[in-house]
Amino acid sequence: MYEGAINQPDAEVLNRAVDAVARETGLRLRIDELEVREGPYTLDAVLGVEGRNERLAAEIKRWAPQANLGALINQVQALPMEGLLVADYINPKMAEKLREQRVQFIDTAGNAYLDMPPVYVFVTGKRKPTQEMGWPKRDTNRAFDRTGLKVVFAFLCRPELAAAPYRDIADVADVALGTVGWVINGLKDAGFIFKYGHGKKRELVEYKRLLDRWVEAYPEKLRPKMQMGEFIADDPYWWKGFDIQKYHGYWGGEIAATHYTKYLKPAVATVYLPKEAKAKFLARARLRAAPGTMWDDTGRVNIYQAFWRDDTLPFINIAKPGVVPPVLAYADLIATADPRNQEAAGMIYDEYIARYNQQG
DNA sequence: TTTGAGCGCACAGGCGTCGC
DNA sequence: GCGACGCCTGTGCGCTCAAA
């Protein structure tokens, strides 16, 4: 068992997963290093395979719900060397998706997918470990709860906001003043904010890692709460020439990606609207409620309530009018777990977001 | 019914400004 | 230079509400 500088719960998940894969498959993985700096990346761990020369960069996730699968795939694929997802539990559906995208994984139940010819392992369907067996407790950092995510979103759009007074932050993020303290402390604990200089000015650090955490938590915690319905349009190109700004709305997801990259042909429309504009928007766009089961995504429209205040938009750094900020477009695309969308997300990151990472 | 997250408000400490 | 005052900032507490 390895005990290093990495936080205790992550180390526990890693140790359990390594033990489980050995028990279920006989394949022995070796924990070579923890918290390895590789250029701009900090790898959670580097693993070796006994009797072989391969080294695998481990991305450890204590909590890996299905809603975050796209983000997880993206994080593993972005690793600077051959990667491996190490999670508490991967259910059979997630296992199949990960295998489709050739993302190797191991979990604490003994489920695994490893493809290192001539070694090929695919184990799925092992039951989730119970709480009594030491099932790791979920991370309860308030920075990654519903309101915390609104504050972090504002920071990701405008990193310098981290140094602003609490009242300004609360105003821009549209949360209560008391919430800001919880979020800042949560970010400090997690190592995303530190204070420097004589005046103890706050600064955002580890921008990419924070973005990954946000992109991971957003589709699970915040977006479902903001959902105003799923609709369908008869004309799949209804959105072309549609003046969304008239409704104080913003294109997200695939349509945002076409504005930022000209790379995608959108099938699904994602729209962010103020609550009060929904009825007028639906009538003008001629949308109807989506049926329970849809075999084809073409023409599908997801509408979410905009979770930022319209009058604080100058602070939120909208790169294109009527289009959500690059950070949100990136998160929407990653959440789909679709390979083409992930590619588009990568382009948005490179062109619009990466510069914040270099600053931070 | 219980629990926990979110909010608003009040309070305390720090800092700057002004008058003596 | 020192003290009084007021403003700004961050923290803590109690209430409300929603989810389980």
Q: How confident is the model at residue A159 (pLDDT cuts 50, 70, 90)?
A: confident
pLDDT at A351: 92
pLDDT at A360: 47
User: How many CA atoms within 13 Å lie on the side-chain side of A256?
Assistant: 31
CATH code for the part of the protein at A8-123: 3.40.1350
CA–C1' gap, A143 and B2, in angstroms: 24
Strand segments (E) across A173-295:
193-196, 201-204, 227-233, 250-252, 269-273, 287-289
The mean of the pLDDT values for chain A is 79
Contact (Cβ atoms closer than 8 angstroms) between residue A256 and residue A324: yes
Asked if residue A294 keeps its beta carbon closer than 7 A to nucleic acid strand C, the reply is no
For A103-112, A132-141, A185-194, A280-289, which range has the lowest pLDDT when averaged over its residues?
A132-141
A279 versus A127: the higher-pLDDT residue is A279
Q: Flag residues 182-211 of A with CB < 7 Å from strand B.
A: 182
- Chain CA centroid to CA A28, Å: 30
The C-alpha atoms of residue A131 and residue A133 are separated, in whole angstroms, by: 5
CA–C1' gap, A219 and B4, in angstroms: 21
Instruction: Indicate whether A66 pLDDT > 70.
Output: no
Asked if residue A162 keeps its beta carbon closer than 7 A to nucleic acid strand C, the reply is no
A293 versus A192: the higher-pLDDT residue is A192
- Cα distances from A124 to residues A12, A26, A57, A90, A227, in angstroms, run 21, 15, 22, 8, 32
Asked if residue A178 keeps its beta carbon closer than 7 A to nucleic acid strand B, the reply is yes
pLDDT at A139: 46
For A91-100, A132-141, A246-255, A310-319, which range has the lowest pLDDT when averaged over its residues?
A132-141
Domain A8-123 matches domain A142-207 at the CATH topology level: no
pLDDT at A252: 93
Instruction: Indicate whether A132 pLDDT > 60.
Output: no
| Domain A142-207, classified CATH 3.40.50.2300, yes or no | no
Mean pLDDT, residues A336-341 taken together: 85
CA–C1' gap, A275 and C17, in angstroms: 20
The C-alpha atoms of residue A324 and residue A113 are separated, in whole angstroms, by: 36
- Cα distances from A46 to residues A25, A43, A85, A128, A293, in angstroms, run 20, 7, 11, 25, 42
Encoded amino acid at A5, one letter: A
Question: What single-letter DSSP state applies at residue A138?
Answer: P
**Domain boundaries, given as residue ranges, for chain A:** 8-123, 142-207, 221-356
Maximum average pLDDT range among A9-13, A79-83, A314-318: A79-83
Question: What single-letter DSSP state applies at residue A239?
Answer: T
- Which residues, including other chains, have CB under 8 Å from residue A200's CB and lie 6 or more apart? none
Contact (Cβ atoms closer than 8 angstroms) between residue A291 and residue A301: no
Asked if residue A171 keeps its beta carbon closer than 7 A to nucleic acid strand B, the reply is no
Contact (Cβ atoms closer than 8 angstroms) between residue A76 and residue A58: no
Instruction: Indicate whether A129 pLDDT > 70.
Output: no
Q: What is the pLDDT of residues A242-289, one digit of tens each?
A: 999 898 889 999 999 999 998 888 889 999 987 778 888 888 888 888
pLDDT at A64: 66
Asked if residue A92 keeps its beta carbon closer than 7 A to nucleic acid strand C, the reply is no
Mean pLDDT, residues A197-223 taken together: 77
For A111-115, A204-208, A224-228, A293-297, which range has the lowest pLDDT when averaged over its residues?
A293-297
The C-alpha atoms of residue A252 and residue A269 are separated, in whole angstroms, by: 7
Strand segments (E) across A39-150:
41-49, 55-61, 83-87, 105-107, 112-116, 119-123
pLDDT at A265: 84
Instruction: Indicate whether A135 pLDDT > 50.
Output: no
Question: What percent of chain A lies above the pLDDT cut of 90?
Answer: 12
pLDDT at A200: 57
Residue A133 has phi, psi (to 5 degrees) of -80, 5
Q: Flag residues 118-147 of A with CB < 7 Å from strand B.
A: 140, 142, 145-147
The C-alpha atoms of residue A344 and residue A322 are separated, in whole angstroms, by: 19
Asked if residue A167 keeps its beta carbon closer than 7 A to nucleic acid strand C, the reply is yes
Instruction: Indicate whether A105 pLDDT > 50.
Output: yes
For A200-204, A221-225, A330-334, which range has the lowest pLDDT when averaged over its residues?
A200-204
Asked if residue A177 keeps its beta carbon closer than 7 A to nucleic acid strand B, the reply is yes
Instruction: Indicate whether A5 pLDDT > 50.
Output: no
Asked if residue A177 keeps its beta carbon closer than 7 A to nucleic acid strand C, the reply is yes
pLDDT at A134: 40
pLDDT at A111: 84
Q: How confident is the model at residue A137 (pLDDT cuts 50, 70, 90)?
A: very low
